[in-house]
A = this chain, B = another copy of it.
Amino acid sequence: MDVYIQHNDVNLYYATNFNAVDLAFYVTEMNILIVPDMEKERALKESKVEVKSFGDLGYHKLRKKMDSRDALAEMLIGFLKSHGVKKVGIPENFPAYLALKLSNHFDVEITNPFIKMRAIKSEREIEFIRDSSKAAILAFEFALKVLRRERSCDRVRERIENYLYLKGYITGTIVSSGEVSAIPHGSGGFVEDHVVVDVFPRSRRHRYYSDFTRTVIVRRNEKIEEMLNAVIEAQEKAISIIRDGVKAKDVHNIVCDVLESYGYGTLRRKSKEGFIHSTGHGVGLEIHEEPRIFENDDTLRTGMVFTVEPGLYYKDVGGVRVEDVVVVKRDGCEVLTRYPKFVRI
């Protein structure tokens, strides 16, 4: 591969610090950002890489002879050819019309160097995720107050989202109770014996996410509390083994071991109920990114940031989940969302 071209998405932002609103390109090996003419000034301000506008690369001349889509493709093709490029890498979600045009002129490979790079966070990125984690916990504490008066999960969710927006975060939120809580991504219902509150705010300023879940016990319910205690034990054991060099699947397996020891079902045992999802996922500029904490062979490395979020889901009882965000260190890990795990109101 001679060059890799990234179009406007979080990877372009990661590589250049330019927040592209329209189509833009970054050619990694040349360290060149290619943006619409109207965006050149802002790109020069926000980014430290070399910036070329579409106009600089002859777009407007081409536009007189063909439609805008073809002109853009020809512009890119001409630019790459003038640099002697033969092989071009593009990400899997690159625009199809450009991919097909490029494939007529170059050896095109689907790849993405940023996915693995982004899995290891810098100190600066960790501070951003720490900031969003603090916001998530504040929002959860706010939710506890709302839950003293409010019976509609949807209304609690709306209050959390408004609270975080005013603090500078856009958040996705799951608030579920009763049978709705038996669906991992289900949200809604009326507050019964327990409530799952899952908050994943992204800062409107630095754009990094956090992801935090607690299960709140509202009224005594033996089955739910037993499930919650097992999940907490599984989560704490998993967190206790996380350190540089450990395999992702070892973290996942320890969660399964604990939950199975209490007689709960797991995906590993092909159960349809019980622990029916993975143990966690990377968190950063996207809410789901590398590493995956599941049955995979990936090795955890210092600076990786991900969730540890075992849960148990049974249709006739409901679901519980406990989720924290951790940073891998050489000799262990740091929890960015430190908060008591068994919560009762």
Residues of chain A at the chain B interface (Cβ within 8 Å): 38, 69, 90-100, 103, 108, 110, 162, 165-166, 170, 185
Contacts and interface: CB of A to CB of B under 8 A. Distances in A.
Contacts of A93: 95-97
A100 B101 CA distance: 10
Given A162-B165, A165-B162, A165-B165, A38 B96 contact: no
Contacts of A94: 95-96
A282 B226 CA distance: 55
Contacts of A103: 100, 103
How many copies of this chain does the complex contain? Answer: 2
A110 B92 contact: no
Given A91-B96, A92-B96, A100-B110, 10 more contacts: A69-B92, A93-B97, A95-B96, A96-B98, A96-B99, A96-B110, A100-B100, A165-B165, A165-B166, A170-B170
11 contacts: A69-B110, A92-B96, A94-B95, A94-B96, A95-B96, A96-B96, A96-B98, A97-B110, A99-B100, A100-B100, A170-B170
Nearest to A69: B92
Contacts of A90: 96
A93 B170 CA distance: 26
A92 B92 contact: no
A69 B165 CA distance: 35
Question: 9 closest Cβ contacts across the A-B interface?
Answer: A96-B99, A94-B96, A92-B97, A97-B110, A165-B165, A93-B95, A162-B166, A99-B99, A90-B96
Contacts of A38: 185
A245 B217 CA distance: 63
A55 to B, nearest CB: 13
Contacts of A110: 69, 96-97, 100
Contacts of A162: 165-166
B92 A95 contact: yes
Nearest to A22: B288
A266 to B, nearest CB: 17
Contacts of A96: 90-96, 98-99, 110
A108 B94 CA distance: 16
Contacts of A165: 162, 165-166
